[in-house]
Amino acid sequence: MTRLQSRMEKTVSRHEQQTQSASAEPLSLQPAPSPPPTSPDAGQDVNPAAAESCQHRCLGRCLIIPIEGMQSRRCERIINRMLKTRHKITGWASYAAGVVRIESTNVIPPLAELADTLAKRGYRLLYQDAWPCGHDDPTQPTAPCHDRVATKQKPGLINRLLPASISAAGAPLATVLVGGLLLAIGFVLRLTGQPMWAWIPPLAIAAVLTSLQTFPSAVRSLLNVTLDVDVLMFVAAAGATWLGHAEEGVFLLFLFGLGTAGEHMALGRARHAIEALRDVAPENARLIDDDGNERMIPAANVRIDDQLLVLPFERFPADGAVIAGRSAVDQAAITGESIPVEKDVGDIVFAGSINGDSQILFRATRPAGDSTLSRLIRLVEVAETEKSPAQQLTDRVERWYVPTVLALTIAVIVIPPLAWNESWSEWFYRAMAFLTAASPCAIAIGGPAAVLCGIARSARIGVLIKGGGPLETLGRVRAVCFDKTGTLTAGKPRVTNIVPLTETVTPDQALAWAASIEAETTHPLAAAIVTAARDRNLTIPDARDVRQITGMGAEGYINDDEITVGRLTEQLSARMTDAQAQEIADIAAQGRTIVCLTRNGEPLAVFGIADEPRPEAKETVAELRRQGMTHVSMLTGDRQAVAEAIAARLGIDRVYADLMPEDKLRAIEELSNEHETAMVGDGVNDAPALARADVGIAVGEPAPTSPWRLPMSF
């Protein structure tokens, strides 16, 4: 049993103990009655009975509630102030995740009252879709107030007609771009001395189109008696127009509208990535009933102790333990192990991992909704609701900046005329100039220019960056954590060593014979041997009667000789000299998988196979240290020996191996408490750590969950 399997058994045992201890407390969630169907505009309808039922069962839990109606990150601050000042609730909203997170501890959260208050401000709190997460361990088994069903909205007419690049953000981006075009037309008309009636209409229409997304946010701020940047921008635009520079005011609205549309685009793609993460698990499972009959059931209906059959190359629908069969299982998406793991009776399998070329019958040890993959998804969702210290600082600064600017503007208008009998009109003009200058124009105009230059320069060298936030944060990063498989390594096993065990066979002959047998099989290690032979342009002899032996390798005939390629057994090891055994032991100590070639039962050669580091990996680590990185670490689900061997070759001093996704998340959290941290990875199993890091970076050809969720991708 591997260390990874031992870790999983401990994790399962810990969760079972915690679940049993929690059973005596009124913390379990049962399905709450679903509210009656409502129309999309019925956001103000609140079902107090359903809310009360849900909130009582959520006592003492961290509660995550979906919310609709947030237009930008400024909406987060509006909702956060309502939670804190009006309802005395510890919690915060997340625009990226589209949820409100509430820490209800020992106080019953007034969900019905909160939902009613938010509805009056244009937000719809979907308390009936709430789900809890543990305070100390968000991976704890949880169940929503009722089944969380992903609903997909039908695209509107505009989205169907627009190009894909525009429809990803929908109408907001299209309207802002049209507004920008009209702004340019109006500016040119005024610049060329055209009459007022010619350039005012395009500027007026541009002002409306570019503020469709930001204007509702400003109105909500005023309704909540709060002043934010949206309000300040509209006041500044009005001031610029009063001073006779209408095109500058509209340009300001255009920049803010463009930024908001970009947020919508990133948000849509991020939520699509979450759905892609859920798609890693199959929708159906093959249930074997007590009579031995097979029938298909939804994977969501899998229960503990169900016996499930997985055919070759299918994905496992739930976590469980093998009760019959043997196969090599690709669980890289969950654990990050670069080479498929042989699974035999009693071994643990994970939902979402891919079966090899043999059938496996296993017993579910967790329901589908609480599999390792499901907990991984919850980790991502919870991580996205966390606020970094930088975000909290921004919230505090913006809260006081706008009122201060407006107060100073009023002071400029009132004090000089009253104190020194100055002209009211002159100081009003100066106050408007001050207001326009004090608005975030430098950030709105200079910031995007700097960001665009950085993004364009990065794109030319193959780096895609989502906005200026990651650029700014990356400049403060002092700790970098790498996933191993597919990030530091190529992600594909290859032959690294060929050790002939007899003088009658050369390395090329041994490789050609092994490739002849392995060309007829489907094991990933077989592909490495065949690829190595083809790279050397070797002549591969024809083999016959090739058959694959599950868990052992493959055998066949070349001419009249029986050739086998597979595991190095104790019987074969006993036939080697001490020098040969020591050489093979040294290869294995480097984290390589040993494959043995025999002819008529006699060992001919041994191959070392490993997922080798990328050629540029060592120089990358060295360059990071020269750039001031104080900590360079490796986080991997692979074996300790394999991880340490790779780390030693690359100059990485801190290695965390045998990690499950939640372990990677904890490691990132610990490092983030000490330094600004970047996480670099490419797999589904990296998703929680990538989401939690200060900067998440996807490398290579990332999983479908990665590229649009993360701030950066290579």
Token representation of residue 120: 């009056």
Low-confidence ranges of the chain (pLDDT < 50): 1-46, 57, 59, 134-169, 442, 444-446, 701-709
Q: What share of the chain is helix, strand, coil (3-state, %, to 5)?
A: 50, 20, 35
Token representation of residue 128: 């009936």
CA distance 528 to 607: 10
* Domain formed by 27-133, architecture: 2-Layer Sandwich (3.30)
* Cβ atoms of residues 706 and 687 within 8 Å: yes
CA distance 126 to 118: 11
Burial of 475 (0-12, 13-18, 19+ CB in 10 A): exposed
Residue 367 φ/ψ, nearest 5 degrees: -65, 160
Q: Where are the beta strands (DSSP E) in 105-220?
A: 124-125, 131-133
* Cβ atoms of residues 604 and 501 within 8 Å: yes
What residues are paired with 342 via a beta bridge? 328
CA distance 141 to 210: 45
* Cβ atoms of residues 272 and 257 within 8 Å: no
If one counts every other C-beta atom within 10 angstroms of the C-beta of residue 340, the result is 20
Q: Please write down the HEC assignment for all residues of 461-493.
A: CCCEECCHHHHHHHCCEEEEEEEHHHHHECCCC
In the chain, where the domains are located: 27-133, 152-281, 284-370, 388-439, 462-490+613-713, 494-610
CA distance 357 to 522: 7
- Choose among 471, 391, 491: nearest CA to 697: 471
Predicted pLDDT at 694:
86
Of 306, 347, 370, 483, the active-site residue reads 483
Predicted pLDDT at 21:
38
Counts for the chain of helices (H) and strands (E), in that order: 26, 26
Predicted pLDDT at 474:
84
Question: Is there a catalytic annotation at residue 291?
Answer: no
The DSSP bridge pattern shows strands 477-483 and 676-681 to be parallel
Provide CATH code, domain 494-610.
3.40.1110.10
CA distance 255 to 620: 37
- CATH 3.90.1150.50 for the 462-490+613-713 domain, yes or no: no
Residues contacting 591, CB < 8 A, separation 6+: 610, 639, 641, 642, 643, 644, 645, 646
What's the first-to-final CA gap in the chain, in angstroms?
36
CA distance 662 to 660: 6
Provide CATH code, domain 284-370.
2.70.150.10
Predicted pLDDT at 619:
93
What's the half-sphere exposure (Cβ side, CA atoms, 13 Å) at 63?
Answer: 34
